[in-house]
Structure 1
Amino acid sequence: MDGNHANYLWDGDGQRVRLVNWEDSGRSDRAFEIGEMTEHISRLDGHLDTELLLTRLDLTRLEAERVQEFRRLFALGWFLMLGPDGPATPHNPSGTLERQADRVLRLLH
């Protein structure tokens, strides 16, 4: 699944979401997908309250721990892609790398 938030369509009440991008579809791990979705760089648009979303998911303790580890992994991956001459650098506004560095540090504490 591609965690770009533009691929998620919410119903009018914000109760149900539909996924519209299947380019990388296949069987996957729930914790992995949640981690990828919550840390995708498109979160910088400000429309996803990650902490609120996580409180509404019925995660076991083990799943919640795994989601946190995947979040750290994806946040670090985006940081590396946003670095000098990184593949994501030209697509993002000035200051994105710095904001992502702050995100990584917060997730690592």
Structure 2
Amino acid sequence: MPPLLQAALNGSRTPAEHPTVPRTPDRLAAEARAAVDAGAQVLHLHPYDAEGAETLTAEPCAAALRAVRAACPSVPLSLSTSAGIETDPRRRLDLVASWNELPDLV
């Protein structure tokens, strides 16, 4: 089986740790396109809300997915569901269940 290259576009890094880590849908889309152009076959990302916090709420997740899909049609997308984003397991499951735009992987 040939190797599969997944690009993790951001993560739980703060601007102080790395000021160029993409957080907005537009920045995620631009970085996604660059990663795919460089050979990435799968994209993994962490959505952020308007206040700059990692989130699992439906609209920021959907906005990130829509932007990246527009930039990279047909590339599988993965969203983080890390316990670091929402520590309560029941609440985390409820948030994921509320998504109206779904990633290909979690």
**Fold match by TM threshold 0.5:** no
TM-score with structure 1 length normalisation?
Answer: 0.32
Larger of the two Rg values belongs to structure: 1
